[in-house]
Structure 1
Amino acid sequence: MRAVVINCTLKRSPEQSNTEALAAVVIEELRERKVEVETIRAVDLNIPPGVNTDDDGRPVLYNRVAGVVVTGNEDGAHHVINNLSGALNEFGYTIPGQAWTYWNKGPGPGPSFLETDEGRDWSITTGRAMASNLVAVATALAERPVPAPPS
């Protein structure tokens, strides 16, 4: 099994990223489950928009799972998770239940994920659960893939 983690931080490499630090929790858990993980920092690349289809007419993202990691305190985290999950699903990804984690330090300004240990346990626990759920659903899809849409 293989995973690609796309880090959408606004910070270019090699600048330290809170998103990268929280995503590392999920990556570690995926690797413990024997998943090969590649990471990409989107801000460092020129990524053209669009979606390709396979020979059966499905978006090439069918039979793949996705989850969302959000940093920047709790304000808007659920909104971002919901919007990204909906968009990913629209493109063909399967989104397992609780396939997300976010930095849960409370609303408003305050220290970032890398600036304090306070409140990190919740984010780490949900990140590990996220990885477990992603692997479980990916395994199920490998055994029973979503068929091509009817013509």
Structure 2
Amino acid sequence: MTETVSLRALALVCTLTPSPAPSSSELMARQVLDALADHGVTGEVVRVVDHDVRPGVQIDMGDGDAWPAIRERLMAADILVVSTPTWVGHMSSVAQRVLERLDGELSETDDSGRPLVAGKVAVTAVVGNEDGAHKITADLMQGLDDIGFTIPSQSGTYWNDEAMGGRDYRDLEETPEAVASTTATLAANAAHLARLLKADPYS
């Protein structure tokens, strides 16, 4: 498939900070979307904490639950980006809730019994001024894979401050080269895989 084939991405930003306050997780998510745009992918950002996403493992928890509207945007996308900060070495509680709500997709299947998200690609972005990015990436990818998403090669980008540091990613004067190159590789691999799956879905 060529890059003329239209692809869409949705970035779910799992910061604990509501808009309009700055967010390092949103900055990195937007950098991922910018890198995907280089491969003809259009994208949008949802800061999950701005919406009343109820706890649970169903696609609709009722009573004003905001997840069904977010899910509609997810189902229209080919690539999912999950971006989370690191808190005490773990993904944010918002990111955990996103995984829990995505668990509802296991009961939403096509005629072959596959989850409706099968064929969609998922990638991750993690920021923090403490250690934990590799563990968070592993947990996110395992969960997303279990739910039915396809994980590309080298599809996790991250930034950690130096040990015992206190900087935020958004406070850096420029993006470190290692992060920029990792994000670029993530985007290239995600777009490539998404196009392959769109042309030749799982049978």
Fold in common (TM above 0.5) = yes
CA distance in 2 between counterparts of 1:105 and 1:119 reads: 12
Displacement of 1:53 in angstroms is 2.1
State the superposition RMSD in angstroms.
Answer: 1.7
Change (3 A) 1:32 1:118: closer
1:6 is matched with 12
For the pair 1:126 / 2:187, whether they are aligned, the reply is no
SS in structure 2 at match of 1:66: strand
Residue number among 97, 105, 125 corresponding to 1:69 in the alignment: 125
For the pair 1:96 / 2:102, whether they are aligned, the reply is no
CA distance in 1 between counterparts of 2:39 and 2:175 reads: 25
Unaligned stretches of 5+ in structure 1? none
Displacement of 1:118 in angstroms is 6.5
For the pair 1:113 / 2:169, whether they are aligned, the reply is yes
SS in structure 2 at match of 1:106: coil
Question: TM (normalized to structure 1)?
Answer: 0.89
Displacement of 1:101 in angstroms is 0.6
CA distance in 1 between counterparts of 2:201 and 2:37 reads: 23
CA distance in 2 between counterparts of 1:3 and 1:95 reads: 14
Displacement of 1:73 in angstroms is 3.4
2:35 is matched with 29
Identity of aligned residues (%): 36
Residue number among 123, 133, 136 corresponding to 1:80 in the alignment: 136
Q: Can you list the C-alpha shifts for 1:28-79, whole angstroms capped at 9, x where unaligned?
A: 1111211120211111123352222233321111001000000003611000
CA distance in 2 between counterparts of 1:89 and 1:128 reads: 22
Instruction: Answer 1 or 2: which has greater strand percent.
Output: 2
Change (3 A) 1:80 1:109: same
AA paired with 1:5? A
SS in structure 2 at match of 1:114: helix
CA distance in 2 between counterparts of 1:28 and 1:142 reads: 21
CA distance in 2 between counterparts of 1:9 and 1:85 reads: 18
Q: Confirm or deny: 8 A CA contact 1:104 1:120 kept in the other structure.
A: no
CA distance in 1 between counterparts of 2:121 and 2:42 reads: 14
Displacement of 1:97 in angstroms is 1.1
